[in-house]
Every structure is written in structure tokens, then in C-alpha cells.
Amino acid sequence: MLSKLIRGRTAPAEGSAPSVPAVAGPRTTDRPWVLHPFLLAIFPILSLYSHNVHELPLDVLFAPLSVAIGVVAVVWLTLRLIGRDALRAGMMTSLLGLLFFGYETLLNGIIAVLIWIDSFWTNREPRIEIGAMLTIEGLIAAVGFWRIYWRTARPEIWTKYLNAFTLILVALPVAGLVSARFREPVGIHHDGALPALKRTGATPDIYFILLDGYARSDIMRENYGFDNQPFLDRLARRGFFVANQSTSNYCQTALSLASILNADYLDELLEPNTQDLLVLADLIKKNRVADQLRSRGYQTVSFTTGFDLTDNPETDLYLAPGPGHSAFNDMLVQLTPIAPLLFDIHWNDRFSESRKRTQFVLDRLPSIARIPGPTFTVAHFVCPHPPFLFGENGEDVSPRQFDPGRELMPHKLDPFIGSPEYVRQAYRNQSVFLTGRIERAVEQILKQSSEPPVIIIQSDHGAWLHYHPNDVDATQLRERFGTLNAILIPGLKYEGLTDDANSVNTFRIVFNNVFGTSLPLLPRRNYFSNLTNPFQFIDVTERLRTEKQRGQIFHSPDQFLGLKQQF
């Protein structure tokens, strides 16, 4: 029955006219399977995954693949029932799938042509709205349907060719992801783990608040014109130790967070020669600090981040404002006309989702203090990391000029967006907003805690104004590695903390002062690595200590990372 359905071998009722016009050429009863619409639908999903295979777990594929296959089946069966021809219905379904997933490519192609034409007599930047694009795609679909239904002879031959072509198309990303995912897995060193904590003694709540890309105070003032020293002074009056010359050990989020939560350098945690960023996700989800605190009776808590590598739904309590979207699904949506439709109504676009996540964590973080028993909370704010979504007072300033269809030359649409001046001002304003809200959250945590908690406020790395992701020599290392680092420990026990403390020792110091361990503090090392080879570390420790870094003039990159999407 399934074979007959897919091959379309049902015959019209006796005495009825054929449902399609007669076409030239011999007919055959050997009608091929209609596979190409399904293969074409899953190709962009597999292709996108294969390009991000080292950063995304395999299970992110299940939902989009299921939806794609289900939608294609419904569309194909509907067209088959209308036209009573499975093969032509399959060709029409493939055309619709091509237009759907090829929306952004077609749009950018049209814009590129218009820019070339306009360059002969004007400097006007063309813009094509969603309505016009849907009209264009509708006309293409109408012409295609007419050709397929009325002018295509021997659709069985076309179906065989399309099946073969799409099968080869799908095989390419499948081969890549199989090679990457199922090779010998990268090992994680388990030796040298943190010592077991005593079963008795103090168990204060521990809050690890990570502000992504929040600059150190001197850098914040010099590069961005924001003096946050009053905020740090108020923290100090509350008992916080503020390390004014603190540095991160790595210049990328996942690298830093994996190192901090395992209280060690990555070359001690990982087998060498890996390029697989997913191993960092494993280190973050199954980190040594949380393991030891669980053995001490702690409940682990985390908040959604929207960043797959640092998201940790495996904690005892995982909090999110709603189902939301995965980063992978968001990337898929950007290929389709769904994205500009969402942007036009400002509903559930990636900027709104990110704002909602940040506001949710700010609102809910103090409530952890009311949970019975000791808790270990990791709150990773992907802020003030770009894209810049908040003004000084929390107003929505999302750069929606970067919406799909307007990304080819976004600086032409608004010369300010994407400029160093924009990054400087937008980063400053977002930092002002976040600083005020974090201070308010700290006040509420302290007020609602039944016993004094441990509160760690850190950044994973510094800021962006002079950061060149693949060029260590062009990067202002003081800016990229200079981090916020403020720690509150009950009883003001700060043995081991210094003004130039680095983040790898954070939990070694906390464990020594709170639980009485004797963990040795690791020497300060700072490692730069580029985005292409994140595990090929360049030791820049000595460069950071030289006066050359302070006196040298650095320039901004041609394009700033992260302005258009969350990552």
C-alpha cells in the first residue's frame, strides 16, 4: 500500500478523464519512488549541522528533521490528492521546499544584482520587504507549477534524476558529520579532581554570576567612558573582595567557563589535539565543582543561556522563561521567510528571545535564596555581550536593521550600526543597565538569605572594541583579558585572593576558605586562541604584563563579532 502511495500507481475512476494533460513520449508503469522532496527538505538541516558539528549535540537534529519530513509529507499528499499524480506532486513539493529554504539566498542574490545595477547611476541601497519577496516567490511557484503540470513529459524520468541528485546532496553533509561525530571520542582527564569535601561544616548558598564580556573597571572607563567604580565601591562596603587587575585565562566563553568550573587549565583537563568544542560542553555540564558540592548536599541550579555550549539543563533545577528556541533552530529559521515575518511584528525574534532570557534571570535569581537547603547556582548572562539589546534604562534598542534580507551591506542601511562608535556607545549603555540590575539582585539575595552566601561576580573574558578574533597581534589583550572579579565569602575570608587574581583559581580559593580544603593555587597563565582553532593556545601572559600593551595604539576590526546574532 505504501509503495503504491509513494509511486502514485492509483488509477482514476472508471470512465473518468485523466487528471493531467496528455504529454508526448511513451508511458511506463514502473513509476519510481518519490524521495527527492524529503531529501531536499532535510538537506539544509543536515548541511547547517555539519558546519557546526563540533559545537552542537546530535539530538538538536531530531525536532527539525521530524518537522521537515512531516510538513513535506502533508504538502505532497495534499498536492497529490488535488492533481492525482504523485510524481508531479513530488516535483511541485520540491519546488516549494527550495523556495522556502532558499529564501535568504534568493533575497541576497536579488539585492546583489540591484546593487550592481544601481551602481551605474546612484549610490542608493536597495531594500526588499517581505511582501515583495513573497510575491516574487509566489510568481516563481506559479510558473513552476504550470511547467511541471502542463509541460513536463515523462515525470518518472525527472523523478529518477531528482532522487539521484538529492541523494548525493544529502550524502555530503552526512559523510562529514558521521566522520566528526563517530570517530574516536576525545577523552577528558579525570585525574587530579578536586578532593572530596567534608560532610560537616558550613554550607552557604553559592552564586556564580557570569557576566559575558563585562570589561574590567579601568578598561570600561578608558575604552567605553563608563565609570563603574561606584558600583565596585558599594560591593566592597558589603564585604566583597574586588580584584581590580583581574584577568581571564582564556579569551572565549566556553574555554573560560570550562576552566573555571573545573578549577584547572584546559591542557590538564583534555586530551591533546582536539578540535571538538562539544567536549567543553561536557566539562561544563559535568564539572568538578558541582560534583563536589553535590557530595556535600548541594542542589545545583542553572538558567537557560540560549548558547548551546554553556546551557546546562542537567542541573537539579533548570530555569527558563519558556520553551524558547534552540540556537540551531534559530539559525535554520534565518534561512526562511519565517524570520522576517517575526521581525516585522517584533514577536519571538532572536533579539526578543534574548532580552526575555536576560530579564528572566535578573528577576528570578534572588528567589533561589528561598530554596531549602544549600544551593549552587550558575547564572550565565550573555550580556553585555553583543548583540546590544538594552539601553541604559532597559529599553529595547535591538539592532533589527540586521534582520534577514537586510544583512548584505548593513552598514549602508544605517552607517552607525556596526561602527566602532556604535559598539562603544551601545556596549556602554548595556553595561550601565546590567550593572544596576546586578547590584539590585545582589541586594535582594543578601536580604532573602537565611545565612550569609558566597557570591561570585565575574566575567568570562573582556570586551570587543579592539578584539580581532583571529589575530593576536592586532588585539588589545588588556581589553580582551581584563575582567570583572568580585567575590563575597562569609566571614570575609579571602586568603589567596590578590588584586591580580585570575579566574582559574576562583573555586580553589572558595573551597579553601569555606570548606577548609588545601588546594594549591595555580600560577597565572593567559591564553589567546582564534575561532578556527580554539584549542591551539598562544601564551600571552608576559605580553599582558608589559607596558607596551598600555601604550600601544590598537584599531577596531572591520567587522564586529556577534552584532547580528546570539552565539
Q: Which residues, 6+ apart, have CB-to-CB distance to 115 below 8 Å? A: 125, 126, 408, 409
Nearest to 564 by CA among 418, 425, 439: 418
Q: How far apart are CA 414 and CA 417, in angstroms?
A: 6
Neighbours of 82 (CB within 10 A): 11
Q: Which residues, 6+ apart, have CB-to-CB distance to 205 below 8 Å? A: 368, 369, 374, 375, 376, 377, 449, 451, 453, 454
Measured N-to-C along each axis, helices 62-83 and 86-101 cross at an angle, to the nearest 10 degrees, of: 140
Q: Please return the burial class of 3, using the count of CB atoms within 10 Å of its CB with bins 0-12, 13-18 and 19+.
A: exposed
The pLDDT score that the predictor gives to residue 22 is 40
Q: Where are the domains of the chain?
A: 2-11+28-181, 206-551
The pLDDT score that the predictor gives to residue 326 is 66
* Residuewise pLDDT in 10s, the chain (567 residues): 445 555 554 434 343 334 444 444 444 456 789 999 999 999 999 988 887 776 677 778 888 999 999 999 999 999 999 988 899 999 999 999 999 998 888 887 887 787 777 666 666 656 677 788 889 999 999 999 999 888 888 899 999 999 999 999 999 988 887 776 665 445 555 555 677 777 667 899 999 999 999 999 999 999 999 999 999 999 999 999 999 999 999 999 999 999 999 999 998 888 766 667 788 888 999 999 999 999 889 999 999 988 878 888 889 999 988 665 566 777 788 788 887 776 555 556 678 888 999 999 999 999 999 999 999 999 999 999 988 999 999 999 988 765 444 443 333 445 566 789 999 999 999 999 999 999 999 999 999 999 999 999 999 999 989 999 999 999 999 999 999 999 999 998 899 999 999 999 999 999 999 999 999 999 999 999 998 889 999 999 999 888 666 778 889 888 786 665 432
Q: Is the dihedral of CA 504, 507, 511, 514 positive or negative?
A: positive
DSSP assignment string, 344-362: HHTSS-HHHHHHHHHHHHH
The pLDDT score that the predictor gives to residue 274 is 67
Q: What angle do CA 369, 286, 315 make, to 5 degrees?
A: 35
Q: How far apart are CA 320 and CA 305, in angstroms?
A: 9
Could you tell me the fold of the domain covering 206-551? Answer: Alkaline Phosphatase, subunit A (3.40.720)
DSSP-H helix ranges across 306-375: 327-333, 338-345, 350-364
Q: Please return the burial class of 122, using the count of CB atoms within 10 Å of its CB with bins 0-12, 13-18 and 19+.
A: exposed
Q: What is the pTM of this model?
A: 0.74
User: Is 56:184 a contact under the CB 8 Å cutoff?
Assistant: no
